[in-house]
């Protein structure tokens, strides 16, 4: 797991500033980083609780899907959240050249002119740049598209949980998927 997470971090660093990053590569990085961490935590929890191999595999699948969904949420929060709720400056991912799902969707749909302008903005990032970017993201409905992808990941997580026996622990994991879905819905709502 450590090797996978480190490889994912290296892959992300190699793509820094690459706004032409595709969705497949983006999701590969998410699975290698946050997905792998969540997957390992869930798998180890299953092992420590005495789960059988089928349940332990299902918990790993759940963790991978939940971790991926969480990272999509976190990437959206950086662009669509408020500084008050996040507790830090917004736009830090794009300011550092990190392509996130909303930005990838924007670059895929908006064409080269906006992608070029966005690339030029990265080195001189400020609140005005974030407002311009938010306008473009809104115009191309990237929040809604990102929320849809997040919900697909959560559906995978719930499906994996269906392979785990009934228990209060499973219910708590199910509740995590509902909580993350609700947090996602609240993004961008003023």
Residue 37: name the closest of 9, 73, 79, 76 by CA: 9
- Largest Cα–Cα distance of the chain, in whole Å? 55
Asked if pLDDT for residue 11 goes beyond 70, the answer is: no
- In CATH, what number does 2-186 get? 1.10.600.10
Share in percent of the chain as helix, strand, coil (round to 5): 80, 0, 20
Alpha carbons 24 and 9: distance in angstroms, whole number: 16
pLDDT digits over 86-122, tens only? 777 888 888 888 889 999 999 999 988 898 888 888 8
Report phi then psi at 111, rounded to 5.
Answer: 95, 175
**CB-based contacts of 105, cutoff 8 Å, min separation 6:** 23, 140, 142, 145, 146
pLDDT digits over 151-190, tens only? 999 999 999 999 998 888 899 999 999 999 999 998 865 4
Contact (CB, 8 A) for 114 and 103: no
Q: What pLDDT is recorded for position 189?
A: 56
pTM for the predicted model, two decimal places: 0.89
pLDDT digits over 18-36, tens only? 677 889 999 999 998 899 9
9 SS3 class: helix
Domain extents for the chain? 2-186
Query: How many helices (H) and strands (E) in the chain?
Result: 11, 0
């Amino acid at each position: 797991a450590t090797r996978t997470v480190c490889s994912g971090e290296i892959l992300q660093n190699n793509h820094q500033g690459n706004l032409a990053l595709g969705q497949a590569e983006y999701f590969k990085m998410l699975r290698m980083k946050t997905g792998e961490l969540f997957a390992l935590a869930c798998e180890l929890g299953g092992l420590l609780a005495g789960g059988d191999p089928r349940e332990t595999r299902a918990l790993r699948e759940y963790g991978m899907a939940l971790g991926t969904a969480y990272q999509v949420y976190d990437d959206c929060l950086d662009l669509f959240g408020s500084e008050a709720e996040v507790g830090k400056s917004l736009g830090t991912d794009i300011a550092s050249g990190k392509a996130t799902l909303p930005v990838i969707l924007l670059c895929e749909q908006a064409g080269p002119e906006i992608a070029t302008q966005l690339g030029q903005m990265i080195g001189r990032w400020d609140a005005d740049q974030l407002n311009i970017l938010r306008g473009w993201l809104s115009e191309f409905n990237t929040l809604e598209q990102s929320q849809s992808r997040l919900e697909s990941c959560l559906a995978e997580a719930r499906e994996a949980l269906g392979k785990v026996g009934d228990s209060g622990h499973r219910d708590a994991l199910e509740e995590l998927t509902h909580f993350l879905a609700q947090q996602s819905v609240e993004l961008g709502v003023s």
